[in-house]
A = this chain, B = another copy of it.
Amino acid sequence: MFRQTSRRRRRCAMSALLRGIVAYPITPFLPSGGVDEGLLGKIVDDMVTAGVHAIAPLGSTGVLPYLSDEEREHVAEVVIQRVAGRVPTLVGVSSLTTERTAHHAKHAEKLGASAVMIIPMSYWKLTEAEIFSHFDTVAKGISIPIAVYNNPATGGLDLSPDLIARLLKIPNVTMVKESTGDVNRMHRLVQLCGEDVAFYNGSNPLALAAFVAGARGWCTAAAHIIPKLNIELYDAIQRGDLAAARRSFRRQLPLLQFIVAHGLPRAISAALELQGITVGPLRAPLQALPPERIAELRRILVGLDVVS
> Chain A interface (Cβ within 8 Å of chain B)?
33, 60, 63-66, 96-99, 120-127, 129-131, 133-134, 137, 153-156, 181, 183-184, 187, 190-191, 205-206, 208-209, 212-214, 237, 240-243, 245-246, 250, 253-254, 263-266, 283-287, 290
Contact = CB atoms under 8 A, between A and B. Distances in A.
Given A33-B99, A187-B250, 11 more contacts: A97-B283, A97-B285, A121-B123, A122-B154, A123-B155, A124-B286, A130-B285, A130-B287, A133-B285, A190-B250, A209-B213
A296 to B, nearest CB: 14
A271 to B, nearest CB: 16
Contacts of A242: 212, 237, 240, 242
A287 B127 contact: yes
Nearest to A64: B123
A285 B154 contact: no
Contacts of A287: 127, 129-130, 133
B134 A284 contact: yes
Contacts of A206: 183-184
A34 B208 CA distance: 47
Contacts of A209: 183, 209, 212-213
A243 B246 contact: no
A98 B186 CA distance: 37
Contacts of A156: 122, 156
Contacts of A124: 60, 63, 154, 263-266, 286
7 contacts: A124-B265, A125-B153, A130-B284, A156-B156, A191-B253, A240-B241, A242-B242
A97 B284 contact: yes
B191 A254 contact: yes
A284 B133 contact: yes
Which secondary structure dominates where chain A touches chain B?
helix
Contacts of A155: 123
A221 to B, nearest CB: 12
A135 to B, nearest CB: 9
Nearest to A98: B284
B187 A253 contact: yes
Contact of A97 (B66, B97, B263, B290): B66
Contacts of A125: 153, 263
Contacts of A134: 284-285
B246 A123 contact: no
A220 to B, nearest CB: 16
Contact of A284 (B66, B137, B190): B137
Contact of A212 (B122, B137, B212): B212
A243 B238 CA distance: 10
B66 A123 contact: yes
Nearest to A65: B123
A285 to B, nearest CB: 4
